[in-house]
Amino acid sequence: MANSSEILKHVLSTPPRSAEPIVYQFLMPNEKGLDNFLNVYSAHAAASAASTTDNGPALNTSSQDPNAMPSAPSGAAAMAPAPEIEVSIFTAATETFARKNTNCSVAESLQRFAPLIARARDHNLRVRAYISVALGCPYEGPDVDAHAVAALAVSLLEMGADVISVADTTGMGTAPRTRELLKTLAAAGVDRQDLALHFHDTYGQALVNALVGLEHGVREFDAAVAGLGGCPYSPGATGNVATEDLVHLFESLGLKTGVNIEKLAAVGKWISEEIGRPNESRAGKATLSRISREKGEGC
């Protein structure tokens, strides 16, 4: 996280071109992380207030980047609305993973987060709280106590968290256990509108589990283009469910995501090539293959 402050400065001072505000989530492992974040965030807010004019928003007219992300908007669509910033915190559903990942117990992590959440709310920042290994732990196995997950979610909401992202960090989750966890959360009083789901696709179950969440009424899902991601404290875990695959699934069910799958697939291909990782999105690769055939370029 050494370069996080530089990334935040860039996002705030030079927001990417977008017709709609982009939400950025910054992980805050502790108070020091929040201090660093607020130093940059508050300085930018003060500078913006001092330099505000009545000239309206400026267009992003930066020079072409040879490695530019495909399908960047231009003209009126190139307006750069202020980005929306969320503070993200993370605890775990098991003691072993909590100590491996954050070097503290689950109870100690909650004690750390109480003042952190309060300070974030004082700055009108939304707080997103992650509960890792909610459906399987690499150290304690797949049978994670759903009631313990629900108790954590309730505690974090009572502290002031806006959203609880329940994470299947290992990808061990199955449809029956995902359904049981969601029922347990509901029985504990956790509203589905306060939930997000975060599935890794290690065992190829992420889309199935997402469908279970959708049927339960959850409408917010974490995903990563090209299925990128992973966790150093979850040996063998693959990346998050691919955004392209999730969009394809939801659109096939008649849900309107507002996402252009062709442009999304192009982004997945681009970032995979940029960082030298394989593109793990089946829907993305199939979409690109179809486009290639339609253009007569072959497979």
- pLDDT, position 42: 87
Residues 201 and 237 in one domain: yes
Per-residue pLDDT band for 149 (boundaries 50, 70, 90) equals very high
197 by DSSP, 3-state: which? Answer: strand
Which burial class, exposed, middle or buried, applies to 57 when counting CB atoms under 10 A from its CB (0-12, 13-18, 19+)?
A: exposed
Residues 149 and 271 in one domain: no
Does a structural domain hold residue 249? Answer: no
Residues 228 and 275 in one domain: no
Q: Is the pLDDT of residue 128 over 60?
A: yes
pLDDT digits (tens, 9 = 90+) for 93-116: 999 999 998 899 999 999 999 999
Q: What is the CATH number of the domain that holds 163?
A: 3.20.20.70
Least confident of 31-35, 116-120, 229-233, 268-272: 229-233
Residues 133 and 229 in one domain: yes
Residues 229 and 271 in one domain: no
The total domain count for the chain is 2
Write out the two tokens for 104. Answer: 């503290």
- pLDDT, position 12: 85
CA 188 – CA 182 distance, rounded (Å) = 10
Q: Residue 298 CB: number of other CB atoms within 10 A? A: 7
Q: Is the pLDDT of residue 136 over 50?
A: yes
Residues 207 and 112 in one domain: yes
Does a structural domain hold residue 138? Answer: yes
Structural domain of 266: 257-299
Residues 213 and 153 in one domain: yes
- Distance linking the first and last C-alpha atoms of the chain: 40
Cα–Cα distances (Å) from 172 to 70, 74, 217, in that order, read: 34, 42, 22
Does a structural domain hold residue 30? Answer: no
Residues 88 and 208 in one domain: yes
- pLDDT, position 189: 98
Residues 127 and 219 in one domain: yes
Q: Residue 262 CB: number of other CB atoms within 10 A? A: 15
- pLDDT, position 15: 82
Does a structural domain hold residue 51? Answer: no
Average pLDDT over residues 19-35: 86
Per-residue pLDDT band for 62 (boundaries 50, 70, 90) equals very low
Residues 6+ apart with CB under 8 A from 200: 167, 168, 169, 170, 171, 206, 229, 230, 231, 234, 237, 238, 239, 240, 241
pLDDT digits (tens, 9 = 90+) for 195-205: 999 999 999 99
Whether pTM exceeds 0.95: no
Residues 86 and 224 in one domain: yes
- pLDDT, position 256: 92
Does a structural domain hold residue 109? Answer: yes
Per-residue pLDDT band for 86 (boundaries 50, 70, 90) equals very high
pLDDT digits (tens, 9 = 90+) for 191-230: 999 999 999 999 999 999 999 999 999 999 999 999 998 7
Does a structural domain hold residue 2? Answer: no
Note if 299 is an active site residue.
Answer: no
CA 22 – CA 43 distance, rounded (Å) = 20
Q: What average pLDDT does the structure give for the chain?
A: 88
- pLDDT, position 268: 97
Average pLDDT over residues 229-235: 71
* Higher pLDDT, residue 49 or 155: 155
Residues 208 and 284 in one domain: no
Residues 194 and 124 in one domain: yes
Least confident of 30-39, 67-76, 130-139, 275-284: 67-76
Does a structural domain hold residue 188? Answer: yes
240 by DSSP, 3-state: which? Answer: strand
